[in-house]
């Protein structure tokens, strides 16, 4: 998740032999925000994101999405070829809005 671009931020890797400065990770309050908000779990694909606590998965603490629920929703709903409901409702998609700071 990116503090300015939200969940739609996609990372990429570039291989180089140039010396580069390594920056530090930043805490922009996302974990606290998501712990309070959970709008993606409430309004996204039913059952795809847990309203419960985060779990450890591949070395990361996260709310692991249920990919099977997402796929089942897409396949069984003829009006939905690509869902993205969780991304659509995420307050961090609303760049610059006050919503970023105070979860509803």
Residue 55 and residue 76: Cα distance in Å, rounded?
28
Summarize pLDDT for 47-89 with one digit per residue, the tens: 888 888 889 988 888 888 888 888 888 788 777 666 778 888 8
pLDDT of residue 102: 52
Among 80, 55, 58, residue whose Cα is nearest residue 69: 80
pLDDT of residue 96: 57
Q: Please check whether residue 2 is in contact with residue 52, taking contact to mean a CB–CB distance below 8 angstroms.
A: no
Taking 90 as the threshold, does the pLDDT of residue 18 lie above it? yes
**Six token digits for residue 38:** 């959970």
Q: What are the boundaries of each domain within the chain? A: 30-100
């Amino acid at each position: 998740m990116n503090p300015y671009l939200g969940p739609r931020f996609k990372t990429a890797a570039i291989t180089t032999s140039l010396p580069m400065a390594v920056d530090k990770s930043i805490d922009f309050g996302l974990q606290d925000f998501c712990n309070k908000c959970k709008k993606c779990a409430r309004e996204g694909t039913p059952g795809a994101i847990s309203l419960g606590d985060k779990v450890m998965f591949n070395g990361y603490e996260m709310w692991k999405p249920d990919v099977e629920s997402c796929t089942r929703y897409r396949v069984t709903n003829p009006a939905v070829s690509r869902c993205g409901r969780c991304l659509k409702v995420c307050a961090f998609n609303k760049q610059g809005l006050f919503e970023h700071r105070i979860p509803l």
